[in-house]
Amino acid sequence: MRSRFDEDMALLHRELTRMGGLCEEAIALSAKALDGDRALAGKVPALEAEIDQAERDIESLCLKLLLRLWRETCGRCRRH
């Protein structure tokens, strides 16, 4: 059980890091667009959609992790 939890935590870390990178990229593109490079502004909505999906995926993973911990804790309580 613990190794699966550790794997999921590592996945969560990777996904959070990836989403952070997407956010950095969207902010950089937006800043450049404000400086006059309007062509870059068109790339931001696609990044926003990818960020939104990453947020939903991360939320789902967090809920699964919490549920797994809750089940494990309840199982321990029942045995004692």
Q: What is the pLDDT of residues 25-37, one digit of tens each?
A: 999 999 999 988 8
pTM of the predicted protein model? 0.81
User: Look-up: residue for tokens 């089940």?
Assistant: 71
Q: Decide: helix, strand or coil at residue 39.
A: helix
- pLDDT tens track for 29-80: 999 999 888 888 899 999 999 999 999 999 999 999 999 888 888 777 766 6
Mapped onto helix, strand or coil, the DSSP state of residue 37 is coil
